Amino acid sequence: MTRRAVLLAAAVGLCSWGAYATPTLTLIPPSGNLTGYDGQTVGWGFTITNDTSDWLLITGSFFCNTGGDPNSTDCLTPAPGTLISPTYGPEFGTYTDYIGARATEVPATGATGPTAFSPGSPGFGVGEYKVNSNAPLASMDAGNLFVTYNLYQGSPVDGGTPDPKDTGNLELSAAASVTVVPVPEPAAFLLVGGSLVALVWLRLHRRRNFLCPRIHGEN
């Protein structure tokens, strides 16, 4: 192969790499797997890495059960819906967006995060999942978290303008799930607390027995 052919092949490779550059979403925890008990609120943190020359303005997030996609299916109504109108929203809990509500931006060729989950209105992270009060034990919502965004030339909150190349319906996704687990037993907390009280009493009792003979002997 001639030197010119080698350079041409390298140039084509670089162009192809640039054409497929795309932002990535990494959840916290990286597995995306959470557990929650009856009525508990849990959620996901995130890091978004942007390897493009555009800024990203995050517009929303959705939890979709397996097979769902907010661009083409209903990910808001609880699954499974009907055979005629299947739905892909959480079946055993309620999902609330945080990252879009905060109008999060990601700089060009940069990253935002890691941002840990912290509940609020809105809180920090991608979003929250509140387990239903009647969710059966061991039930699971499993699918993907989707984060939707738009492209901007420059910071969208500091004078940037929408990129004409933005095709709309842009999204990132990562596998996610929530499994319902038993509520921690109060008895377990009482047992631990009782053990601590007993330990403190025993130490005080031993100290008293140690000091009292010395006191009586001095008298």
DSSP annotation string for 101-118: TTT-EE-TTEEEEEE--B
pLDDT at residue number 187: 52
- Cα–Cα distance for residue pair 17/136, rounded to 1 Å: 47
Question: Is the pLDDT higher at 10 or at 92?
Answer: 92
Give residue for tokens 């997030």. 61
141-195 per-position pLDDT tens digit: 999 999 999 999 999 999 999 999 999 999 999 999 999 999 998 854 444 445 5
73-106 per-position pLDDT tens digit: 999 999 999 999 999 999 999 999 999 999 999 9
Report residue 13's pLDDT band, with 50, 70 and 90 as the boundaries.
Answer: very low
Is 87 in contact with 81 (CB distance < 8 Å)? yes
Q: How far is CA 10 from CA 1, 14, 55, 87, in A?
A: 13, 6, 27, 46
pLDDT at residue number 138: 98
- Cα–Cα distance for residue pair 152/163, rounded to 1 Å: 5
Q: How far is CA 12 from CA 5, 16, 82, 160, in A?
A: 11, 6, 48, 31
Mean pLDDT over each residue of the chain, to the nearest integer: 85
From the candidate CATH numbers 2.60.40, 2.40.160, 2.60.120, 1.20.1260, the one assigned to the domain spanning 22-180:
2.60.40
16 pLDDT higher than 70: no
**Residue range 39-55: average pLDDT?**
98
pLDDT at residue number 38: 96
